[in-house]
Amino acid sequence: MTDLIRMSAEQMRRKGIENAEAKRQREKEYNMKIEQMSKHNVGGLYDIRAIAKSKQFKEQQNHYNVEQARSELEDLLQANRLYKFTDITSDFIKKISGRDGDSYTIRETGKFISDLVNEIKLKYEVKE
């Protein structure tokens, strides 16, 4: 009788091992299928997961981030000791664009201010 119980337990153990192996095989096949589906015939150019992980995508997200653009503008103004000019610049952007401003408008305004400050420094021979 103990042989039947032991044999039954041994059979259960074998069946469990077989089931685990089958599950691993299904997972492997599923992952291979997903990998094949994510790459198109154009050489993987449109692999969404690869794009989302890429450095360029992260830089692009930062480029469109309005808060980061405002922070860069504030850094520019502070570097040129224009501490009170931040609010004036924000109001100017609102007046010109008719809205709070997006990252492009903020960055272009920053470039304009930077060029203007550099020209003034050159004309008046300001040294830092």
- 52 in any annotated domain: no
- 34 in any annotated domain: yes
Q: How far is CA 25 from CA 13, 22, 33, in A?
A: 18, 5, 12
Rounded CA gap, 104 and 65, in Å?
9
Residue-range definition of the domain harbouring residue 42: 2-46
- 30 in any annotated domain: yes
pTM: 0.53
Are 39 and 62 part of one and the same domain?
Answer: no
Tens digit of pLDDT per residue, the chain (128 long)?
555 456 677 787 888 888 889 999 999 998 887 777 655 544 555 666 666 667 776 767 677 788 888 999 999 999 988 888 988 999 999 998 888 888 889 999 999 999 999 999 898 887 76
Beta carbons of 110 and 73 less than 8 angstroms apart: yes
